[in-house]
Amino acid sequence: MLHYIYADDLHFFPLMRDTMFRDRADQFKRRLGWAVSVNERGEERDEYDDMNPLYVIWQKADGTHGGSMRFLPTTGDTMVNDHFSHLTDGVKIVSPLIWECTRFCLAPKADRRVAAALTVAAGELMDEFKLEHFVGVFDPRMERIYRLMGLSPEVIGRASHDGEDIGVGLWEMHADAFGPTLEKAGIDRAMSKMWFRAAFEHARPYLDERAIA
């Protein structure tokens, strides 16, 4: 199932939290060879995990992490503005209608449905928070996965960074994309909405405040 969890609340889900950060280390450090730091616990974390981002996490039947993404409003600190503005000719992307999406991660041997489910979750965030785009830095090797998800980015910058090709893109999800993506994920829209609203119903005013901050 899908979870929407702010970093401040990850301690309520220790198994899912710990396996997420370990899976991130496996994907970004070992498989993709990114210049990321892995701590003594075998976890990949960075300074943006300390900024209370919103995580979307697919939880497997055994309670562990199946896949995830990390979101931050561009009205605050973001990776694309802090470290990659040279890819956008120095133009910073700042808007309450655009959130940054980073650390798209799939657990090793993740079910094919997971990527589709995460795509649905991104669409729900866009719909419920009234967002227009997500922005993110991406490895061009991930573009095939994005195409399979039916969510290819509008590339707004691409260059070599520390010897690696890297891009910056904008994503949006139109209403007509939900049907095919839900089918790939094996869930329906009612279930998707239920998961989203269950995550936030107890603190709706707080959610609305964060969404427009």
Each residue's pLDDT tens digit, 70-103: 999 999 999 999 999 988 999 999 999 999 999 9
Inside any domain, residue 100: yes
Residue 33's pLDDT is what? 86
Inside any domain, residue 206: no
Inside any domain, residue 205: no
Inside any domain, residue 52: yes
Each residue's pLDDT tens digit, 201-213: 754 444 444 444 4
Residues in the chain: 213
Beta strands, E only, 74-152: 98-106, 133-138
Q: 91 with 78: CB under 8 angstroms?
A: no
Residue 147's pLDDT is what? 75
Enclosing domain of residue 168: 2-196
Inside any domain, residue 208: no
Inside any domain, residue 210: no
Percentage of the chain exceeding pLDDT 70: 92
R_g (Cα) of the chain, nearest Å: 16
Residue 23's pLDDT is what? 98
CA distances from 76 to 12, 51, 123, 130 (A): 25, 9, 21, 18
Inside any domain, residue 211: no
Ranges of the chain with pLDDT below 70:
149, 161-163, 202-213
Average pLDDT score over the chain: 89
Inside any domain, residue 213: no
- Record the tokens describing residue 11, joined without a space: 């301690």
Based on the structure, what is the number of domains in the chain? 1
Rounded to two decimals, the pTM is: 0.89
Q: What is the CATH number of the domain that holds 171?
A: 3.40.630.30
